[in-house]
Amino acid sequence: MLEQIYNHFNDIVAAILFVIGFSNLLFQKNLIKKIIGINIMDVSIYLLLASQGYISGRIAPILTDGSENAVTYINPIPSGLVLTGIVVSVSVTALMLSMTVRLYRKYKTLDLDEILMKVRREKEESEK
């Protein structure tokens, strides 16, 4: 049991982080906390992805001392995928933050429930 946990330590941490991020994203009312939740969720997936490519005892796939033998290095593809994923999550975070700024300027609050309530009231007033 303990050995199993030790062998899959990265995966278990990733799973716990994913649950934390996921529940933050869905259940937090504050928009900034939601965005932090998104980031934790993304990071957990990148941890899972990066640990798939890690082979213990090997080094990062960068040619420094001239060894062209593949046995020296870890698998570079997951690292590349993680880089792509980070770019994606940076742009998503930027977009979410910009929307948050706009909503805050309009409604002077970060609470999504309160914002939705104000939006509904606005709609009802416009229909009168």
Residue positions counted in the chain: 128
What CA–CA distance (Å, rounded) separates 72 from 98? 44
Beta bridge partners, 111, equal 30
| Count of C-beta atoms within a 10 Å radius of residue 127 | 6
Indicate the residue among 26 and 65 with the shorter CB distance to another protein. Answer: 26
Q: Which of 51, 50, 60, 61 has its CA nearest to residue 83?
A: 50
**Any contact of residue 86 with another protein (CB under 8 A)?**
no
**Any contact of residue 55 with another protein (CB under 8 A)?**
no
Radius of gyration of the chain (CA): 21
What is residue 93's three-state secondary structure?
helix
**Any contact of residue 43 with another protein (CB under 8 A)?**
no
Q: Give Cα separations from 31 to 52, 108, 112, 116 (angstroms).
A: 32, 12, 6, 12
**Any contact of residue 78 with another protein (CB under 8 A)?**
yes
**Any contact of residue 17 with another protein (CB under 8 A)?**
no
**Any contact of residue 24 with another protein (CB under 8 A)?**
no
What minimum distance in Å lies between the beta carbon of 118 and another protein?
A: 7
**Any contact of residue 109 with another protein (CB under 8 A)?**
no
Catalog residues that contact another protein under the rule CB under 8 A: 18, 22, 25-26, 31, 34, 38, 41-42, 45, 48-49, 52, 77-78, 81, 84-85, 88, 91-92, 95-96, 99-100, 102-103, 106-107, 112, 115-116, 118-119, 122-123, 126
